[in-house]
Chains A and B, each alone.
Chain A
Amino acid sequence: DAGVIQSPRHEVTEMGQEVTLRCKPISGHDYLFWYRQTMMRGLELLIYFNNNVPIDDSGMPEDRFSAKMPNASFSTLKIQPSEPRDSAVYFCASREQGAYEQYFGPGTRLTVT
């Protein structure tokens, strides 16, 4: 398997623009997680899905952030409008039902100027 796939790997955008980050989980994995990593706050869970249904979105910072999982093989994290404080590395991870180990994607480094 190719592992968790994220795109783009790097994104530079101007404040106010819409940003869409994409994730393809490992085939057969039922859970998908979106994390954000910053120097100040480290790794934080934003939201996770089980069987395409959002289970816990309490980590989503504010209404500017939204996440969807239209099918088992694809998820998006959207920021609209983006702000400089959204600059971070965003990781997607997936795992199987009943397992504890999560597999992380390579991350998307977002810079908002």
Chain B
Amino acid sequence: KNEVEQSPQNLTAQEGEFITINCSYSVGISALHWLQQHPGGGIVSLFMLSSGKKKHGRLIATINIQEKHSSLHITASHPRDSAVYICAVRSSETSGSRLTFGEGTQLTVNP
């Protein structure tokens, strides 16, 4: 079992739909990251969370430390949101700065 699991692996939506991507992890963490990888391959950091909720534009990220679960929400989705979304955690059980990544969720938003 991977330390970080994402669901779904693939998601297709219509423009305007509300989207949720989930991330579950099995270790204690000091931080959780949501990354976006564009079709061209570049990786952008969207959020870093250690508790609660963060919002940036149409993107919302939440984390429940007790349940070891995080969600990334996209409101009013748009075709330009099409990308791979990757969850990554920094374990609090080991020292250092290593990130462990989920396998990613491929999101396609159709016009």
Residues of A within 8 A of B (CB): 31, 33, 42-45, 48, 50, 55-56, 89, 91, 93, 95, 100-104, 106-107, 109
Please tell me if the beta carbons of B45 and A42 are within 8 angstroms of each other in the complex.
no
Cα A91 to Cα B41 in complex, Å, equals 10
Number of interface residues of B (CB under 8 A): 20
Cα A13 to Cα B86 in complex, Å, equals 29
On whether A102 and B101 interact (CB within 8 A), knowing A43-B86, A55-B96, A56-B96, the answer reads no
Please tell me if the beta carbons of B96 and A102 are within 8 angstroms of each other in the complex.
no
Extra contacts, 11 of them, besides A43-B104, A106-B41, A106-B42 (Cβ < 8 A), are A33-B97, A42-B101, A43-B86, A45-B98, A48-B98, A50-B97, A55-B96, A56-B98, A102-B45, A102-B99, A107-B41
Main secondary structure of the interface of B (DSSP, over half): strand
User: Which residues from chain B contact A103 at a C-beta distance below 8 Å?
Assistant: 45
User: Which residues from chain B contact A102 at a C-beta distance below 8 Å?
Assistant: 33, 45, 99
Cα A29 to Cα B85 in complex, Å, equals 25
On whether A42 and B103 interact (CB within 8 A), knowing A56-B98, A101-B48, the answer reads yes
Interface string of B15-48 (1 = CB under 8 A from A): 0000000000000000101010000011111001
The 4 closest A-B pairs by CB, nearest first: A104-B43, A43-B101, A100-B48, A100-B31
Please give me the residue from chain A that is nearest to B88 by CB atom: A43
Q: Which of A44, A50, A107 contacts B101 (CB 8 A)?
A: A44
Write 6 A-B pairs (CB below 8 A) sorted by A numbering: A31-B97, A91-B43, A93-B43, A102-B33, A106-B41, A109-B41
